[in-house]
Copies of this chain bind each other. A is one copy, B any other.
Amino acid sequence: MKKAIILLSGGLDSAVTLYQAKKEGYKTFCLLFDYGQKHKKELKSAVKIAKLSKSPFKIIKMNLPWKGSALLDSAISIPHNALENIGKNALPSTYVPARNTIFISFALSYAETIKAQAIFIGANALDFSGYPDCRPDYFKSWNNLIKVLGIKNITVKTPLINKTKKEIIALGRKLNVPLKYTWSCYAGGLKPCGKCDSCKLRAKGFSETGLVDPAN
């Protein structure tokens, strides 16, 4: 059976990606990261979802000894209006430098070790925060780098890359993803703040789908 590493944050997109990989016939191995994020609560969601999907999972724990992102730095508030600035050539303060690059490099290490054929990541570039490491060309570059390394049969896959949040939610429902256990909020509270980019994008998606968010 072909194997895939799934980068699982515990959010909506990565959960749908996990179930999509299963639908495509992969045996799924989830990779979670404890990197100092304020919303560490997402890890509990990720563990729950990995278990529900019957996927083995591993957690990488690391320190990122530089700050500078609102997701890491207690001195920087989570912004409430960053989505308005997408495309204005400014990175939102929630951007964590090279985060997806770090995550994919660990996934590559895991994939090489267990001889997996694919790395799945739930990035999408439509209803998103404008992060440069979520765009299609970035993932093409990764696949080029892996090809140059000469490690055969490992492909970075982004099944959601061109989907809107509405379409992602619809796919999640079709695949019976346990959406009620997913966690999207950046703010690190006990309940979703409803104000950060991630909460807003999620709410927009559910609103467009005409569904009530089962996590609320």
A interface residue numbers (CB < 8 A to B): 58-68, 96-99, 101-102, 104-106, 108-110, 112-114, 132-133, 137-138, 140-142, 144-145, 148-151
Contact = CB atoms under 8 A, between A and B. Distances in A.
A144 B104 CA distance: 16
B97 A101 contact: no
Given A64-B109, A68-B113, A141 B148 contact: yes
Contacts of A64: 60, 109
30 contacts: A60-B62, A60-B64, A60-B65, A61-B62, A61-B63, A62-B63, A64-B109, A66-B113, A66-B114, A67-B113, A97-B108, A97-B109, A98-B105, A98-B106, A101-B105, A101-B109, A102-B102, A102-B105, A102-B106, A105-B105, A132-B149, A133-B149, A137-B148, A138-B145, A141-B144, A141-B145, A141-B148, A142-B145, A144-B144, A145-B145
B65 A58 contact: yes
Contacts of A148: 137-138, 140-141
A61 B34 CA distance: 12
Contacts of A102: 102, 105-106, 109
Contact of A109 (B59, B99, B141, B144): B99
Interface centre among A96, A98, A110, A132 (most CB of B within 10 A): A98
